[in-house]
Amino acid sequence: MSEPLVQPTAPADGMPVPKSEVQDQQTHGGVHDPNLHHSPEAIKKEIRVYLIVFGALAALTALTVCACYGMRMPVNIAIGIALVIACTKGFLVAGFFMHLLSEKKLIYSVLGLTVFFFAVLLWGPWHHFVDMIGK
């Protein structure tokens, strides 16, 4: 006699249980999947990426300090260079350490809106200053 198939109940952590092996392969394997077990090679590869990003962040920090104190340039150019470096560092932190490079469209939409509104906030004082010069 064959035993009837029983649908497993949901575990206590709230993760849905896949109905078949195919669904299991399709739904699992994301970056934040607690059921995904990485091989030692995959872990070493991830650690290498994090160390490279850490090195890039350290180098960009040194470049920011050098642009501020080491180079003799006008303040407005030094601030522009520092902002470009800060944006690059922000991208590295958000993209790799916060795993935003592997997230869905909603995350990118919210991030795009944030950049848009930040640009509007920067445009306001700039527009006011330029308007005062014209008077």
Give the whole-angstrom CA distance, residue 36 versus residue 117. Answer: 37
Tokens (6 digits) for 14: 């709230």
Q: Are residues 48 and 93 part of one domain?
A: yes
Q: Quick check: 35 and 15 in contact, CB under 8 A?
A: yes
For residues 49 and 90, state if they share a domain. Answer: yes
Q: What is the pLDDT of residue 42?
A: 85
In this prediction, residue 35 carries a pLDDT of: 57
- Residue 28's pLDDT is what? 45
Residues 97, 117 within the same domain? no
Q: In terms of residue numbers, what domain contains 89?
A: 40-102
Spans in the chain with pLDDT lower than 70 = 1-37, 134-135
- Within a domain: 46: yes
126 lies in the same domain as 87: no
